[in-house]
Amino acid sequence: AALPSLVPPFVEKPVVSNVTDSSATINWKTNIKSYGSVAYADEATFDITKDNPYISEAADTINKLTNHELVLLNLKPNTRYHFMVRSFSLPEVVGKSIDLTFVTEALKIQANVGNVTNNSFKASWTTVEPTTSVVEYRNLKTGELVQKSSETKTTIHEIVVDDLTPGTSYTVNVFGLNTKGNKISIASSVRITTSIDITPPKITSL
């Protein structure tokens, strides 16, 4: 009874959160206090034919816990990663999860929002890989949120938005989905204000 248990810790299914273009947080629980580690590899280097198909590992071998959290850093953007969590009290008795995956976010893009008139503007941007094109804009007076999009995947994007209200401020976001279904967006929204139409009407054929 004084010997440590030779039964490996039970590992609940891990949860992936806070995924960015270069990091991800892995959380999981065990039924007993144990050390924790996460083995991981990107899709290109993951080799299922090997005893250990993962090339990297993050670990906490100082604290024995039942609620585990490890942050994976220096990841590649827009990349699928395989990972497995491992928990142990003794190095020879290891509880493991199944192989799971997540996809890091793509790098943020820069957008040019210009040609602002009293009722329209043009948004243009480029992406490294082909994506759909979406312009999302919010009327700051009414709060109305509208999207204009194109499902064609391309690297050069240009969308003209019209039928806007003169003399009104809007916040504008652009984004798209790549072939992996990963959202590629700008770092922060752009604010524009439509001009006021002060041109008097012309009277003809009086």
Token pair belonging to 158: 């240009």
18-39: burial string, b at 16+ Cβ within 10 Å, e else: ebeeeebebbbbbeeebbbbbb
Neighbours of 161 (CB within 10 A): 20
Question: Do 83 and 100 contact (CB within 8 A), yes or no?
Answer: yes
CA 121 to chain centroid: 27
Each residue's pLDDT, cut to its tens digit, for the chain (206 residues) gives 445 557 899 999 999 999 998 999 999 999 999 999 999 999 999 999 998 999 999 999 999 999 999 999 999 988 999 999 999 988 888 999 999 999 998 878 888 999 999 999 999 999 888 999 999 999 999 999 999 999 999 999 999 999 999 999 999 999 999 887 888 888 788 999 999 866 677 777 76
- For residue 199, the model assigns a pLDDT of 66
pLDDT value of position 1: 47
**186, 172 Cβ separation under 8 angstroms:** no
CA distances from 76 to 24, 47, 65, 109 (A): 11, 18, 29, 16
Q: What angle do CA 158, 163, 165 make, to 5 degrees?
A: 115
* Cα distances (angstroms) measured from residue 124 to each of 60, 65, 146, 154: 46, 50, 17, 12
**Nearest CA to 120 among 200, 195, 198?**
195
